[in-house]
Amino acid sequence: MVVTYGPGDRVRVVPAEKPGHVRTPSYLKGKSGWVEAVIGLFPNPEELAYGLSGRPEKNLYKVGFKQEDLWDDYEGQAEDVLYADVYEHWLEPGEGGTA
């Protein structure tokens, strides 16, 4: 399977609502960050949860977000970062494009 994003690429979490078992937290919906690392291929947990095979497997990425971009009133340093592991189908290219 093709790895769509690489380390440093800007990405945005798709701001979609999806019922059922979802592994992308709401507070990241619509937020922009960067791919920190490509973790690998895993069976899609949103299908595994319902007894399906989860295949084809999905690419999982470690995505970094500046805390200041997530919370208006963030108390901390400008360099503070939040990392989350996000599946490919929850990502779209972000502004700034690929690295």
List residues binding another protein (CB under 8 A): 23-25, 27, 39-40, 42, 45, 60, 62, 67, 70-71, 74-77, 79-87
Give me the least distance between CB of 17 and another protein, in Å please: 15
Residue 14 or 81 having the CB closest to another protein: 81
What does the alpha-carbon distance between residue 19 and residue 5 come to, in Å, rounded to a whole number?
A: 26
Q: Which is nearer to another protein, 9 or 13 (CB)?
A: 13
Residue 7 beta carbon to another protein: minimum distance, rounded to whole angstroms: 15
Q: Tokens standing for 19?
A: 């019922």
Residue closer to another protein, measured from CB, 1 or 97: 1
The burial of 53, by beta-carbon neighbours within 10 Å (0-12 exposed, 13-18 middle, 19 or more buried), is given as exposed
Q: Which of 66, 77, 68 is nearest to 33 (CA)?
A: 66
